[in-house]
Structure 1
Amino acid sequence: MCYFWAGSYEPGRPDSDQFLETDKGKELDGWPGERWLKLSSDNVRRIMEGRIKLAQEKGCDGVDPDNVDGYQNENGLSLTANDSISFLSYLSSIVTPLNLTMGLKNAGSIISQVLPIVHFSVNEQCVQEAECDTFHAFIDAGKPVFHI
């Protein structure tokens, strides 16, 4: 499984210089230098396609795109849940022909809309946030939930 920052910019990555200033929103709370990304940007989507193809080249069976929940945070880009759903649909259109799986990390409020296009869930703090029941739809659909 290959993990990558999909909805946020992280300085120091090999492709960091490809992001435009207009692609970037506010900094992620607690992560200096890391910024939310405009999920509808053609440039951002092109970069993420490259990351997914790199994951396939490295022999990964699937991808774990992180930070697709910018709509739940002060992002400076007016991101909405629909932006995340559209972005995940785009990522799925890249992942599927490459025979890779894709997970949903956190973002519990959009599960019903993206359940058909994701293969598993990764959750970091459902116990702490008292939201584990939110992810039960994956289990009901026969898809795993990984709590890390």
Structure 2
Amino acid sequence: MYSSIIQTLAVAIGFAACSVDAVALRRSTKKLTQGTTWTLEAWGYDDTSKGDMIDIDLQTSSKDYVEKLSDGGQYVVCYISAGTAEDWRGDFLDMMNFAARDSRYPGEYWMNITRWQEFKHLIKARIEEAADKGCHGIEPDNTDAYEYGSMAITGESRESLRQYQIDYIRWMAKTAHALGLQIGLKNTVDLIPDLIDNMDFAINESCAKYSENDYCSNYDAFVKQDKAVFGVEYSTKGSCTDAMSEGIMRKYKNMNSNKWVDC
């Protein structure tokens, strides 16, 4: 019996060591620094480039596919929605227990971020799935409910939701980092000063489109820390020259096209 116990302990320690080694290995991979090229697969349009980083949908991508991309030399970022319940996801009904209102997207409902501590176990499960599949990082989308105030959560305002949003994103960052994953800030431009030290890279939609508000310049904080900033525009309005000078690796999609084009 004593020998059996020793063997059992040895196996358990071996598994623990493997787990630690896996986390250490993922953390030792290259960081997403300024100038990192990328491929955008997650958002449903074609991208024929082969960037240093590839952004894929977590829940529709198999572990084997993630491994194939990683073995091919790409840094794999896995997309999740952290702020909406999506009616095509397997955990939709569980998420809807904490949903607030229809979002601006078909089939999606804003999560009530004032209750994030009640639904964080659902988001943690997604982050753990990303780690299990071998993703190097995550892209949590729809983390800007606070910007919509009562349009997202009845009875709330931008000001009343702001701290909930910050606390929720910081929790996600802490959870991801504990699993050896990097995490990107998706949009949520106004919160960059509060979150820059928690985030490893950034992804933006349409900051050039709203250039009159000087949105793109907010990413200077990432540039100064040599953290990658990835961006997309849904039309050709804007300048690729500006994107490069602003430290943003940008893609464009022509209005009637289904393909991303690199700047």
Q: TM-score, normalised by structure 1?
A: 0.92
Shift of 1:19: 2.1
Listed as ranges, the matches of 1:74-85 within 5 Å are 74-77=151-154, 78=156, 80-85=161-166
SS in 1 for 2:165: helix
Q: Secondary structure at the match of 2:209?
A: coil
- Work out whether 1:105 is the aligned partner of 2:186: yes
1:35 to 103, 106, 109: 109
Q: Deviations over 1:87-141 (max 9, x none)?
A: 0111112111111000000001000111111100100111111111111111012
Q: CA deviation at 1:58?
A: 1.1
> 5+ residue gaps in structure 2?
1-76, 233-263
1:11 and 2:95 are equivalent in the alignment: no
What pairs up with 1:17-96 in 2 under 5 angstroms?
17-21=93-97, 23-29=98-104, 31-39=105-113, 40-73=115-148, 74-77=151-154, 78=156, 80-96=161-177
Once the two structures are TM-superposed, the CA of residue 20 in structure 1 deviates from its matched residue by 4.3
Question: Could you tell me which amino acid in structure 1 is paired with residue 136 of structure 2?
Answer: D
Whether 1:145 and 2:195 are equivalent positions in the alignment is no
Match of 2:196, SS state, is helix
Percent pairwise identity: 28
For this pair of structures, how many residues does the alignment match? 146
Write the distance in 2 (CA, Å) between the matches of 1:6 and 1:46. Answer: 11
Offset at residue 41 of structure 1 (A): 3.0
Q: Is the CA contact (8 Å cut-off) linking 1:122 and 1:145 kept in structure 2?
A: yes
Match of 1:135 in 2: 219
C-alpha contact 1:38 1:44 (8 A) present in aligned 2: no
Determine helix, strand or coil for the equivalent of 2:166.
helix
Deviation at 1:76, TM superposition (A): 2.0
State the secondary structure of the residue aligned to 1:19: helix
* Greater alpha carbon shift after TM alignment, 62-71 vs 92-101: 92-101
| Bigger Rg, structure 1 or 2 | 2
C-alpha displacement of 1:14? 1.2
Please report how far the alpha carbon of residue 44 of structure 1 lies from its aligned counterpart in structure 2 after TM superposition: 1.9
SS of 1:103 mapped into structure 2 = strand
**Match of residue 122 from structure 1:** 203
Root-mean-square deviation over aligned CA pairs: 1.4
RCO higher in structure (CA 8 A, sep ≥6): 1
Shift of 1:80: 1.5
- Aligned structure 1 segments of 4 or more residues deviating by more than 4 angstroms: none
